[in-house]
Amino acid sequence: MAKNNQPPTPIRLFFMFAQITTVTLGGGYVIVPVIGSALEKRGWMNEDDFYSIFVKAQAFPGPLAMSTAMLVSIRLCGFWGAFAAFWGILIPPFLALILVSDLIRTYGSLPAVQRFLAGAGAVVPGLVAAMVYKSVKKGSWNIPRVAETLILAILLALFPKLSLPILLGGIALLYGIEALCTKH
Amino acid sequence: MHETLILVWTFFKVGIIAFGGGWSTVGIIKNAVVPTWISENDFRALIAIAQSTPGPIALNAATMIGWSHGGLVAAMLSTLSVVAFPVMAITATTLLAGKVKLNQGALDSSLKTGSLAMMLMTLWVLKPVSLDPLLLILMLGAFYISAFTKINALWAILGSGAINAIAGPWIRGLFGG
């Protein structure tokens, strides 16, 4: 059973999210399960409710951690809960990044630091390729879906300045097609 | 001030289409900020840093670019502008709850297609620029770790940086490079 039966308040939500966002490194899909278990441990939300909110959060633009935290907190504490969650997710990384930027500004000209940054930056295409590989493996594929994905990707690559209309238009069109298909 | 406003507008637009988790957004961020705000190589380092520090990658990128182009106020405004649209969307949906019926299945599947297309585009715009053999090997190692093991990608980033910083010149020396 839950050890801690204090009810959720905006202040407690703020500190919970600030703590999670400070100690969890590695992007949305790493942080989401941590949020889920923190909520369950406090007895504020069970896993099923949490994951049904998480599914909804994925439909919003913006960082996954942010939309999940805000939707969870709206459910628990209404507007002020979401307000607290917003700042809890935002403030620690902001301070950390300013610190890191300053360290790089101070030491960035050292050859060893430059090699570190070049080495760290070099793995980025490998990590993106791994994400593509995993998404392709996880998805269910048919010819129309492969064609849709490729056409959208090629349009995005050809017209980098038009990403916004291409994506919004593309997703709206796909939504329309999917909605029509599932109706019949 | 004018520069900060352009930065805010740039990141606001990134926030509107930042679907599907960090990595799919990176290509969109790159198209928006390279080369106006940051050079190609600095951007790759920035993404590696943004991924290995606390916080979402889009927020971190906005904070760092804002900070280097105008200090604290620019950093705050850029960071807030990335999340401005998502926060408005969440607020609007909560206020409209139940009044608008969306087909959740169709929405999920169209967003999945959209975010995979964004990831492919990211891969295209971030394809390796350097033909340095050691860096290419580190990249392949990171692919392997991230695709086939449960190790956090963070360790691939930090490990690769450390290997190149500490042993890079020595390894290249072995191969006469």
Residues spanned by the domain of A173: 140-183
Contacts of A143 (CB under 8 A, 6+ apart): none
The whole-angstrom separation of Cα B10 and Cα B17 is 12
- Yes or no: say if B113 and A139 are a contact pair by the CB < 8 Å rule: no
Are the beta carbons of A160 and B125 separated by less than 8 Å?
A: yes
Residue B167: per-residue pLDDT: 87
Same domain as B93, residue B105: yes
- Yes or no: say if B43 and B33 are a contact pair by the CB < 8 Å rule: yes
Residues spanned by the domain of B167: 130-177
Same domain as A177, residue A102: no
Per the structure, how many domains does chain A have? 2
Q: What residue of A is the nearest CA neighbor of B103?
A: A179
The whole-angstrom separation of Cα A167 and Cα B19 is 10
A90 occurs within a structural domain: yes
Q: What residue of A is the nearest CA neighbor of B102?
A: A179
Provide the number of CB pairs (under 8 Å) joining chain A to chain B.
320
Where do we find the tokens 């408005």? B88
Same domain as B158, residue B110: no
The closest alpha carbon to A111, from B158, B171, B164, B137, belongs to: B164
Tokens at A91, concatenated: 């403030």
> pLDDT grade, residue B21 (50/70/90)?
low
Tokens at B81, concatenated: 């502008």
Confidence check: pLDDT of B136 > 70:
yes
The closest alpha carbon to B154, from A145, A127, A115, belongs to: A127
Q: What residue of A is the nearest CA neighbor of B147?
A: A130
A39 occurs within a structural domain: yes
Same domain as B170, residue B86: no
A141 chain-B contacts, CB cut-off 8 A: none
Cα→Cα distances A41→A36, A64, A94, Å: 9, 21, 27
Confidence check: pLDDT of B1 > 80:
no
Query: Nearest CA of chain A to the CA of B140: how many Å?
Result: 6
Per the structure, how many domains does chain B have? 2
The whole-angstrom separation of Cα A2 and Cα B30 is 44
The closest alpha carbon to B61, from B20, B90, B91, B18, belongs to: B18
Residue A2: per-residue pLDDT: 47
Q: Residue A53: which H helix or E strand, with range?
A: helix A47-57
Same domain as B12, residue B91: yes
Are the beta carbons of A122 and B128 separated by less than 8 Å?
A: yes
Same domain as B69, residue B48: yes
The whole-angstrom separation of Cα A34 and Cα A40 is 10
Are the beta carbons of A126 and B75 separated by less than 8 Å?
A: no
A115 occurs within a structural domain: no
Residue A38: per-residue pLDDT: 92
Are the beta carbons of B87 and A62 separated by less than 8 Å?
A: yes
Select from A107, A129, A160 the last residue of a domain: A107
CB atoms near residue B158 (< 10 Å): 19
Query: Nearest CA of chain A to the CA of B19: how many Å?
Result: 4
A134 occurs within a structural domain: no
Are the beta carbons of A119 and B18 separated by less than 8 Å?
A: no
pLDDT tens-digit map of A135-162: 888 878 888 889 999 999 999 999 988 8
Same domain as A96, residue A15: yes
Same domain as B66, residue B44: yes
Which of A25, A60, A177 is opposite residue B90, by nearest beta carbon?
A60
Q: What is the ipTM of this complex?
A: 0.85
Same domain as A68, residue A21: yes
Q: Which residues of chain A have pLDDT under 70?
A: 1-4, 26-28, 183-184
pLDDT tens-digit map of A89-105: 999 999 999 999 989 88
> pLDDT grade, residue B109 (50/70/90)?
confident
Question: Could you tell me where the DSSP H helices lie in chain B?
Answer: 2-16, 22-33, 40-52, 57-95, 104-125, 133-148, 153-174
Same domain as A147, residue A92: no
The closest alpha carbon to B5, from B95, B96, B70, belongs to: B70
